[in-house]
Amino acid sequence: MNKRFTFNFEFFDYFEGMCFIISENGKILSFNKSSAQKLQINLNKINFFEMIDESEKDLLKEAISRCITNQKSIDLQSKFKNGNQTTVVDLLLSPYNSNENGVSQANNCFIIANDVTSKKEREEELQRFFYVAENTVNPLQITDTEGRMIYVNPAFLKVSGYTKEELIGENPRIFGSKKQLKKFWSEMWTTIKNGKVWIGDVENRKKNGEPFHTQLLISPILDSEQNVTGYFGVHRDLSEKKTLEKQLIHTQKMESIGTLAAGIAHEVGNPLASISALVQVAQRFTTDDLVKEKLELVKNQVNRISKIIRDLVDFSRPSNFEFQFTDINKNLTEAVEITKVGVKAKDVVYELNLNKNIPHLPLVADQIQQVFVNILLNATDAILESQKKEKKIVVKSHMNENGEVIITFSDNGIGIAEENIPKIFEPFFTTKKEGKGTGLGLWVSYGIIKSFQGEIKVSSIYGQSTTFTISLPVQN
């Protein structure tokens, strides 16, 4: 039953792959057409091992011996060399026994060689791209056509705070902040499903709930027939840009409110002065005690409004005061003295820690003092409201490495609730009882410091402490 076929080696001429029969020492006994065509070498005149790249020669010799000795086929990769041209080949070695005088001789090897040069190049190219993807700072993600993530790079894991295991197979919806409308995303899908590139600014959520802003570019991945096989997303981190934008919006908001306030102060101030004068006239001419008493109340309320107006005017008054070289430390000491005069509870300790080497700064002395007093009064209020035994306000001044003067006011008062921190510089924001605070002090201070090209910042631990930091440039 076991019928043996014998066929001519020319049969292999129909093969695309290169086929050879060689002896153990590399003598080429037969080869097919495609090997002659592909290699462009006269194969009748050459030893097989001469065509092998130097670096691969020993390995291949050893493999061929092993194949013949063990009578087992072997797979391996090797390189053909012809002048400058290198061909990467996948080799299949099989023992091929010759028959001498009816005796089978284990002495030859049948080789099929497939050219994988371009495949190998593609692999290397892919490896290079993979390396870039893994090491770039831009977060990358690849999703399949259903939108499930099949690849995310380390930069993506870093910004999102998730692990790879948590993301693969998931839909990027899990980063959703719900800040974008449904329409936004449906337009995105329409674009990319049609094989086009989509770009948009998105706000995502990290695993811990914090937002991360990115510009997202999604590009469809197409196969050779232009079918969409997946999507490739590149994020560009916009966090820093967003922070700057927010700061700019905040600054502009404060500025426009300032302009508005100047107008209101003027419009309200004049009629208010008339009311105040008229009330006094009426008080003088009436004999009715009840009317007198009621007019007194009116006067108090008018005074209260006047105080607010004065604060507003302070802020909005174009700075026609002269700049003069001001001794910040002296100014701070005076501000503390002024504050102390008004303190009801005498047990607040004011500690001054001033650096003597601070140069005099070109400032408007009255205005900077107004800022210091505002901050010190707030700190005093915060301390008196807390139940702490030790009541202490520390004022420090020093120069930093950027050549700026830094002044800090720290108190161990009630602190500021986190949600209020962004609001305290806004006009009329106050947490104090009616009649106690106008909510204008810090807003005025902010405006003054900005006009000196400085910065005013706050940090606070609610219930524990608050520090205001002012930085002023030395060169104006």
Q: Given the rule CB under 6 A, which residues bind ligand ADP?
A: 374, 378-379, 382, 411, 413-416, 424, 429-432, 437-443, 466
Residue 339 makes contact with Mg ion by CB under 5 A: no
Q: From ligand ADP, Mg ion, none, which one binds at residue 414 (CB under 5 to 8 Å depending on kind)?
A: ligand ADP
Amino acid, res. 354:
L
Two tokens at 203? 């706000």
3-class SS of residue 260: helix
Residue 447 makes contact with Mg ion by CB under 5 A: no
Two tokens at 324? 């003069």
Residue 430: CB minimum distance to ligand ADP, A: 3
Q: Which residue, 35 or 465, is less far from ligand ADP as judged by CB?
A: 465
Strand order through the sheet with 74-82? 28-31, 18-23, 103-115, 85-100, 74-82
Q: From Mg ion, ligand ADP, none, which one binds at residue 39 (CB under 5 to 8 Å depending on kind)?
A: none
Confirm if 139 and 155 have CB atoms less than 8 A apart.
yes
The Cα–Cα gap between 343 and 250 comes to: 33
Q: From Mg ion, ligand ADP, none, which one binds at residue 466 (CB under 5 to 8 Å depending on kind)?
A: ligand ADP
Residue 299: CB minimum distance to Mg ion, A: 24
The residue from 214, 316, 370, 378 that contacts Mg ion (CB under 5 A) is 378
Residue 385: CB minimum distance to Mg ion, A: 13
3-class SS of residue 366: helix
Two tokens at 343? 């303190």
Residue 371: CB minimum distance to ligand ADP, A: 10
Q: Which residue, 17 or 441, is less far from Mg ion as judged by CB?
A: 441
Q: Which residue, 369 or 466, is less far from ligand ADP as judged by CB?
A: 466
Amino acid, res. 45:
K
The Cα–Cα gap between 57 and 55 comes to: 6
Confirm if 283 and 295 have CB atoms less than 8 A apart.
yes
Residue 432: CB minimum distance to Mg ion, A: 8
Phi/psi class of residue 274: alpha, beta or left (left: φ > 0; alpha: ψ in -120 to 50)? alpha
Stretch that binds Mg ion, among 35-43, 95-103, 229-237, 440-448 (CB under 5 A): 440-448
Residue 438 makes contact with Mg ion by CB under 5 A: no
Q: Which residue, 139 or 447, is less far from ligand ADP as judged by CB?
A: 447
- Name, in order, each residue with C-beta under 8 angstroms of 184's C-beta and a sequence gap of 6 or more: 200
Q: From Mg ion, ligand ADP, none, which one binds at residue 439 (CB under 5 to 8 Å depending on kind)?
A: ligand ADP
- Name, in order, each residue with C-beta under 8 angstroms of 61's C-beta and a sequence gap of 6 or more: 26, 49
Residue 468: CB minimum distance to ligand ADP, A: 7
Q: From ligand ADP, Mg ion, none, which one binds at residue 473 (CB under 5 to 8 Å depending on kind)?
A: none
3-class SS of residue 138: coil
Question: Comparing C-alpha atoms, which of 388, 392, 461 is closest to residue 421?
Answer: 461
Q: Which residue, 103 or 345, is less far from ligand ADP as judged by CB?
A: 345
Q: From Mg ion, ligand ADP, none, which one binds at residue 331 (CB under 5 to 8 Å depending on kind)?
A: none
Residue 441 makes contact with Mg ion by CB under 5 A: yes
Q: From ligand ADP, Mg ion, none, which one binds at residue 141 (CB under 5 to 8 Å depending on kind)?
A: none
Q: Which residue, 167 or 382, is less far from ligand ADP as judged by CB?
A: 382
Q: Which residue, 185 or 429, is less far from ligand ADP as judged by CB?
A: 429
Residue 314: CB minimum distance to Mg ion, A: 13
The Cα–Cα gap between 425 and 62 comes to: 82
The Cα–Cα gap between 441 and 430 comes to: 10
Two tokens at 79? 């390189």
Residues that bind Mg ion (CB under 5 A): 378, 441
